[in-house]
Amino acid sequence: MLTAERRRSIMQILQRDGKVLASELSKALQVSEDTIRRDLNELATAGELHRVHGGALPRSPVTASFTERQQQAPGVKAAIAQAAIGLIRRDQVILLGGGTTLLQVAQQLPPDLRATVITHSPPVALALAVYPEIEVIVIGGKLYKHELVTVGAATVEAYRNIRADLCLLGIGSLHPEVGISTFDLEEAYVKRAMIASAAEVVALTSAEKIGTAAPYIVGPLSDLTHLVTERSVPNEVLAPYRALGITIVRA
Amino acid sequence: MLTAERRRSIMQILQRDGKVLASELSKALQVSEDTIRRDLNELATAGELHRVHGGALPRSPVTASFTERQQQAPGVKAAIAQAAIGLIRRDQVILLGGGTTLLQVAQQLPPDLRATVITHSPPVALALAVYPEIEVIVIGGKLYKHELVTVGAATVEAYRNIRADLCLLGIGSLHPEVGISTFDLEEAYVKRAMIASAAEVVALTSAEKIGTAAPYIVGPLSDLTHLVTERSVPNEVLAPYRALGITIVRA
DNA sequence: CACTCTCATGCAATAAAATGCATCTACAAT
DNA sequence: ATTGTAGATGCATTTTATTGCATGAGAGTG
């Protein structure tokens, strides 16, 4: 039996049973557990399944990509979120993007904040539901399962009809020359619409994303009014942003 | 049973019942309480739940107060949800309402179901995000915090532009003469729009809601094509619904 | 304060995983 | 045919994870 053939069998069994055990696969496919483990690791690296001790489970888009990242650098993200919250003023109309950093923002707002918050991220919307004085507006659309945000024409259209005071956005890539960019086209459209609808635009980004570029351009750096990032980012890296009049906030 | 699998079960039970006890989980999952405690601690560290003495609670206080109501009769709601799922066929376009019963539906769908599901409930949308073959459309609007659904003109308008095969709705009150009614005006509008947009309309309702009326009329009983309710409901109570040609499904 | 239930910790047994190494096979070039 | 090479496989060994149990500390209740 060919290697690729065996791996296909593993995927089929996984789909059929909802889980696979390394020991069982070894018997069923007549190869050693070492080989099975190698297969499982390769498949996990390729993102086809979720490797766990003893076997593997189907890759669930939510638990895999979203909650997993939540753990990566919790301290840093919380600090950035906290710093961004300092820019919010009472009674504003605020656009909140998706992603784990913005979820942190939604969770850490002052309990008595009075504001209108508009978001296209269901998890952010749920986090906001605890605040009695916040009016929450959900923007609909097609749900992107890995980011847990809505996208598409309906989403963009909805943002177009809004005039907000403030927009808080998680940014995937920032580059002095390329500008704001992201790894997903649909998300780029949504972010562009959000930026166009807000008077002040705040980018939240961790240190390692500054100076990088991604395939899809959201807009020029001059779209931003504020940049919230880690304390550790060296001054010279931030110079081009300051030169554009962007207010830098260090968490 | 795999460790990761067991933790996933714990999260499911937590979501279903609104709380978990270490002692009960130990019996239900056939492992020692030590293992359960370790699981709960790990899940708490990962931010997936809120660890408390004796067991654990959902992480977010929102979903807590929301799922708390599920404790009242978790078995009944799960059974009604399961029965309603039997009406779903592959590749349909389905409207899902809000509320705890519909959340149960979203959580108990067959893992490989292929369909398009449209909902104005963020918790339902998140529950649907785990299904790889389901396209999820979120309907936006103003967020109603107690029901965790969106309402308002945007919501109604969005549903108006949709033609669905099936609509699954939680119903607050059903009365042979009054028809379908609810305690909230905004929700009445949304439900009306959903009913108007679907070929088949399925009402999910527990026994005690049948024969009651509420201030805001959604529409006549003849809007319904199916009624899913508890097995215990006596036949004579259901007679007027049967007379209208409504298919009765007993959970 | 006394009682019970729950929890944390260290420990040992077991299962699973990673690693390095030898062997085997398929395939291509000579 | 044979030689070389890359990849796949199995085995031995070491390392790491998981689990249940015992002990004592701690929390909750009346």
Q: Is A23 on the interface with B (CB under 8 A)?
A: no
**Interface residues 101-140 of B with strand C (CB < 7 Å):** none
pLDDT tens digits along A197-242: 999 999 999 888 999 999 999 999 999 999 999 998 999 999 999 9
pLDDT tens digits along B94-120: 999 999 899 989 989 998 899 999 999
**In chain A, at which residue ranges do the beta strands (DSSP E only) sit?**
20-21, 49-52, 55-58, 93-96, 115-119, 134-138, 141-144, 149-151, 164-170, 173-175, 179-182, 198-204, 216-219, 226-229, 247-250
Asked whether the predicted pLDDT for residue A159 surpasses 80, the reply is: yes
**DSSP-based three-state secondary structure for B116:** strand
pLDDT-derived band at A72 (thresholds 50, 70, 90) equals low
Q: Is A142 on the interface with B (CB under 8 A)?
A: yes
pLDDT of residue B72: 56
List all nucleotides in chain D with at least one atom under 7 A from a protein Cβ.
7-12, 17-22, 27-28
Amino acid at site B71: Q
Tokens 């942190």 correspond to A104
Of A43-47, A138-142, A156-160, B153-157, least confident by mean pLDDT is A43-47
Nearest to A122 among B3, B61, B125 (CB): B125
Asked whether the predicted pLDDT for residue B89 surpasses 60, the reply is: yes
pLDDT of residue B65: 67
| DSSP β-bridge partners for residue A118 | A95, A137
Residue A18 CA to D17 C1' — how many Å?
22
Residues of B in contact with A138 (CB under 8 A): 122, 138, 140-143, 150
Distance from the B212 Cα atom to the nearest Cα atom in chain A, whole angstroms: 30
Q: Is B194 on the interface with A (CB under 8 A)?
A: no
Q: Pick the more confident residue, B143 or B15.
A: B143
User: Contact, B153 vs B120, CB < 8 A?
Assistant: no
pLDDT of residue B74: 62
Asked whether the predicted pLDDT for residue B182 surpasses 80, the reply is: yes
Say if the Cβ atoms of B138 and A138 lie within 8 Å: yes
Say if the Cβ atoms of A67 and B60 lie within 8 Å: no
Say if the Cβ atoms of A123 and B126 lie within 8 Å: yes
Residues of B in contact with A54 (CB under 8 A): 2-3
pLDDT of residue A73: 59
Asked whether the predicted pLDDT for residue A116 surpasses 70, the reply is: yes
pLDDT-derived band at B140 (thresholds 50, 70, 90) equals very high
Distance CA B114, CA B107 (A): 15
Average pLDDT over residues A77-81: 90
Asked whether the predicted pLDDT for residue A6 surpasses 80, the reply is: yes
The A residues from 110 to 139 touching B (CB cutoff 8 Å) are: 120, 122-123, 125-130, 135-139
Asked whether the predicted pLDDT for residue A161 surpasses 60, the reply is: yes
Nearest to B4 among A57, A129, A148 (CB): A57
pLDDT of residue B70: 52
User: Contact, B107 vs B15, CB < 8 A?
Assistant: yes
pLDDT of residue B83: 96
- Residue A46: both structure tokens together: 């390729």
User: Contact, B179 vs B165, CB < 8 A?
Assistant: no
Distance CA B4, CA A236 (A): 45
- Residue A98: both structure tokens together: 């998706």
Distance CA A155, CA A98 (A): 13
Distance from the B125 Cα atom to the nearest Cα atom in chain A, whole angstroms: 7
pLDDT of residue B143: 97
Asked whether the predicted pLDDT for residue A65 surpasses 70, the reply is: no
Q: What percent of chain A has pLDDT over 90?
A: 79
Residue A32 CA to C20 C1' — how many Å?
17
Average pLDDT over residues A34-39: 94
- DSSP, residue by residue, B58-107: ESSHHHHHHHHGGGGSHHHHHHHHHHHHTT--TT-EEEE--SHHHHHHHH
Nearest nucleotide (C1') to alpha carbon of B51: C7
pLDDT of residue A70: 52
User: Contact, A231 vs A205, CB < 8 A?
Assistant: no
Asked whether the predicted pLDDT for residue A91 surpasses 70, the reply is: yes
At residue A164's C-alpha, the angle toward residues A161 and A168, to 5°, is: 115
Asked whether the predicted pLDDT for residue A142 surpasses 60, the reply is: yes
pLDDT of residue B69: 57
pLDDT of residue B60: 73
- C-alpha distance from residue B75 to each of A163, A241, B228, B230 (Å): 46, 57, 15, 11
Q: Is A98 on the interface with B (CB under 8 A)?
A: no
Please count the residue pairs, one from chain A and one from chain B, whose beta carbons lie less than 8 angstroms apart. Answer: 114
**Interface residues 31-50 of A with strand C (CB < 7 Å):** 33-34, 37, 41
Distance CA B121, CA B141 (A): 10
Asked whether the predicted pLDDT for residue A129 surpasses 80, the reply is: yes
Say if the Cβ atoms of B138 and A122 lie within 8 Å: yes
Q: Is B5 on the interface with A (CB under 8 A)?
A: yes
**Interface residues 11-70 of B with strand C (CB < 7 Å):** 21-23, 33-34, 37, 41, 52-55
pLDDT-derived band at A67 (thresholds 50, 70, 90) equals low
Q: Pick the more confident residue, A171 or B62.
A: A171
The H or E element that residue B186 is part of is: helix B185-196
Q: Is A150 on the interface with B (CB under 8 A)?
A: yes
pLDDT of residue A43: 92
pLDDT-derived band at A77 (thresholds 50, 70, 90) equals confident
pLDDT of residue B16: 80
CB neighbour list of residue B235: distance below 8 Å, 6 or more residues apart: none
Average pLDDT over residues B192-205: 97
pLDDT of residue B239: 93
Distance CA B13, CA B40 (A): 12
Nearest to B138 among A63, A70, A141 (CB): A141
Distance from the A243 Cα atom to the nearest Cα atom in chain B, whole angstroms: 39
Asked whether the predicted pLDDT for residue A2 surpasses 60, the reply is: yes
**DSSP-based three-state secondary structure for A142:** strand
Average pLDDT over residues A82-107: 95
pLDDT-derived band at B67 (thresholds 50, 70, 90) equals low
Say if the Cβ atoms of A63 and B129 lie within 8 Å: no
Phi and psi at residue B166, to the nearest 5°: -145, 145
